[in-house]
Amino acid sequence: MTSHDECARDLRSYIDHADRDDLGAAQNAILKFALAEPDPQGRAAAMDALLDDLSRDRSPATMSEAQQAFHTVLIAMIERTKTVVGPVTSGR
Q: What is the domain range of residue 32?
A: 4-85
Query: For residue 73, which phi and psi values (nearest 5 degrees)?
Result: -65, -45
As a whole number of Å, the CA-based R_g of the chain is 13
Q: Name the pLDDT band for 19 (thresholds 50, 70, 90).
A: very high
- Residue 92 falls inside a structural domain: no
**Count of domains forming the chain:** 1
- Residue 18 falls inside a structural domain: yes
d(CA 79, CA 9): 18
Chain segment 32-60, per-residue pLDDT in tens: 999 999 999 999 999 999 999 998 877 77
- Residue 90 falls inside a structural domain: no
- Amino acid identity, residue 81? T
Local structure of residue 61 (DSSP, 8 states)? G
d(CA 15, CA 73): 10
